[in-house]
Amino acid sequence: MASEKDILEQATKLGELIAEHDAVKKMESATKAFEADTTSQRAMADYQRFAQTLQQKAQSGGAIEVEDKRKLEELQQAVITNPLLANMQRAEMDYLDLLRKVDGAIVGSGGPMAEAMQQAPPQAGPSILGG
């Protein structure tokens, strides 16, 4: 029977292997590029802030004006057309795909929780577009 120590040692080794994977390296690179680019940061922050404002407005029963929708679309286009953010989105998807596969391999390896875990709805991390 595997001890907790054995499991944690293997988990550490798995973490080291994952850190060496191309998807992780691309995600790290994309994140660093984003952190160094104030234009991309501003585009993302402006979009997220305005989208949140509109969501709060809608939840409180306020009307979303055509002008608001146009501004949201304009801010969304700035995010979508930003090559650095597009690269980050692709890197994020590849990274999450790797983690889903690893999780599937762990859950699929058996054990009393395997069936219960496979029936649970998949959980995805938040998109960089905030949606």
In sequence order, what DSSP letters do the residues of 19-74 get, joined into one string?
HHSHHHHHHHHHHHHHHH-HHHHHHHHHHHHHHHHHHHHHHTT----HHHHHHHHH
113: pLDDT strictly greater than 80: no
pLDDT for 101 = 95
pTM over 0.75: no
Measured in degrees and rounded to the nearest 5, phi and psi for residue 26 equal -65, -40
**CATH code of the domain containing 32:** 1.20.1500
131: pLDDT strictly greater than 60: no
Q: Find the domain containing 94 and state its range.
A: 17-119
8: pLDDT strictly greater than 60: yes
Residue 62 lies in a domain: yes
Domain count, the chain: 1
Residue 125 lies in a domain: no
- Angstrom CA distances, 67 to 54, 63, 64, 70, 73, stand at 12, 11, 8, 5, 10
